[in-house]
Amino acid sequence: MKKETTVPVVKGRTYTIDILRLGTNGEGVGRVENFTVFVPGALPGETVEGRAEIVKKQYAAAQLVRIVQPSPDRTKPACPVYGECGGCRLQHLSYEGQLREKRRQVKDALERIGHLPEVPVLPTIGADDPMSYRNKMQLPVAAGKKKHEPHIGCFAEKSHRVIDIERCPIQKDGNNLIIPVVRDWMREYKIPAYDEDRGTGIMRHIMGRVGVHSGEVMVCLVTAVDMVPHMKDLVRLLREKVPGLASVVQNVNKRHTNVILGEKTKVIFGSPTIHDAIGPLQFHISAQSFFQINSEQAQKLYETALSFADLKGEETVIDVYCGTGTITLFLAQQAKEAYGIEIVAPAIKDAIQNAKDNGIRNTQFILGDAAYKLPELLRSGVKPDVIVVDPPRAGCEEKVLYAVARVKPKRVVYVSCNPATLARDLAYMDKQGYKTIKVQPVDMFSQTHHVESVAVLVRGQKIRKCDEA
C-alpha cells in the first residue's frame, strides 16, 4: 500500500519561506520542506515570513507577513491603492526585474510544458514608458456609503467591491482627466450609481479612449437607462476639463450582466469615433472597437512579427485569427498578397474597413473557421509562403494547427498572449515538422504579469497526421 505524503504546512501557522521564482499570476513561489507555497507580494530571491491561508495536498497559499531579506529589485509601488486593486500585480518589482521575469516565464513554459529547452528566448522588449500606457479605461461606478457620493475606480481583487480612485498611474492622462469630472457631475446633479444587486440607478461604467497619435479623447458613459438627466451639463464640463475631447457617447446596457457594453450606443457630442495609428496605419476607433491597449508597444509587437515573417515582396501570407486585420495590414505592406481569416463577423467588417481607410488593396478577408477555410484556400490555388497565427489566451485549436501544417507554409509566425498555450502549441507543431527558431517576448502590459511573445517556426520534417484526422 502506497504511503501518503505528509503535508508539512498547517493552516494558520507562519513559516519562513525562500522565494525561488514568480508564478504565472505574479505571486512568489517558494518552498517549505520541498513543499510548494505561493506567496502573493513576494519576489524571487527574498526570504519572507508567510501565514498559511490555504493548504492543499500539492501546494499551499500564504499571506505575506514580513519580508526578512528583501530583493534588490523590490521597489515602492507608484499607486496608492496597489495591493487592494485587482489590476497590477508587479508594481513592487523594478521594471528591469519585470522584463527579466517575463522572459523567464516564457522560457520556463517552453521547457516545462513544451519540452523545448533548446529554443532561444530573447530578452524582453521593454516599453519606453512602463507607466501611463493604457489608451483605454473601463471603470465601474458604485454607490458610496454616503448618499450621492459615488465610487469610481477598480474592482478589488476577486470581488465586485469598487475601490474609489482619483487616477490610475498606468492610464493615459486623457483618461485620468475624465474621472473627477464625472464624479463631480454625479455629486452636483445627484446622478445615482447603478446597484447591480437591486438593478436600480443610472451610471454603470465610465470608458475612456485616447488616440495616442491624434490626441483625441472619447468618453463613453455606460448607463442602465436611455435618458440621463443633465447630460448637456456633463458635456460642458468635459469640454472645459478634458483637452482633445472629440467624442462623448452613451452606451445603454439594461441587462443584469457582467458584460460592460450593451448593444445600443448613441452620440451625445462630436464624432462616433476617434483616430489613432500603429506605425503607418491609421484606425477609426469606436466605443466597441478592438484596438491594442498599448499603442506604442503594439507597433513593436507587429514589427517583430513582420520581421520574423521575412517577406521579400513576392510572398502570399495568411493571417489566422486576424481580428480587425491589424497584423494582416502590416504584412500586406511587404507581401504580394495577404489573406485574413476570422470567425467573428463584426471583426471582419472592421478589417475590411481598415484596409479601405489605409488604401491597402492586396488583402482579402474571409469569415469562417480557419480549420476549414485554410484547405479551401489551398484548393482554390492559394499557396501561402507564410502563415501568421494570433490566437486568444486559450491558444490555437488543434484542428487549426493541423490545417496549418497540412497547408505546408515555409514559415509560421505565432503571436501569443499566453506562454503556457504557446509552449503547448509549439510542441505540437514540432511533431508536425515545424521547428521553433526563436521566441521574442514583448512587454505590452507593464506592471502586470502578462507577457506577449512572437515565435518563428520553419518547416523541416515530414508532417505527421494528428490523432483526430
- Point out the residues that are catalytic: 417
Rounded-to-integer distance, Cα 341 and Cα 465, Å: 23
Rounded-to-integer distance, Cα 445 and Cα 454, Å: 15
Q: How far is CA 253 from the centre of its chain?
A: 24
Strand, coil or helix: 372 = helix
| CB-CB contact of 207 with 219 (8 Å) | yes
Contacts of residue 97, Cβ cutoff 8 Å, sequence gap at least 6:
43, 71, 73
All three cell numbers of 173: 492622462
Please, which residues bridge with residue 250 across strands? 221, 266
Biggest CA–CA distance in the chain, Å, is 77
Query: First-to-last CA distance in the chain?
Result: 42
Q: If you ran DSSP here, which 8-state letter would residue 237 be given?
A: H
| CB-CB contact of 422 with 430 (8 Å) | no
97-104 own/partner pairs: CB under 8 Å, 24+ apart: 97/43, 97/71, 97/73, 98/130, 98/443, 98/446, 98/447, 99/123, 99/124, 99/126, 99/443, 100/124, 101/21, 101/22, 101/44, 102/441, 102/443, 102/451, 103/441, 104/21, 104/22
Rounded-to-integer distance, Cα 136 and Cα 219, Å: 10
Print burial letters for 17-52: b (CB count within 10 Å at least 16), e (below 16): bbbeebbeebbbbbebeebbbbbbbbbbbbbbbbeb
Residue 406 CB neighbours (<10 A): 15
Rounded-to-integer distance, Cα 83 and Cα 90, Å: 10
Instruction: Report the amino acid identity of residue 125.
Output: I
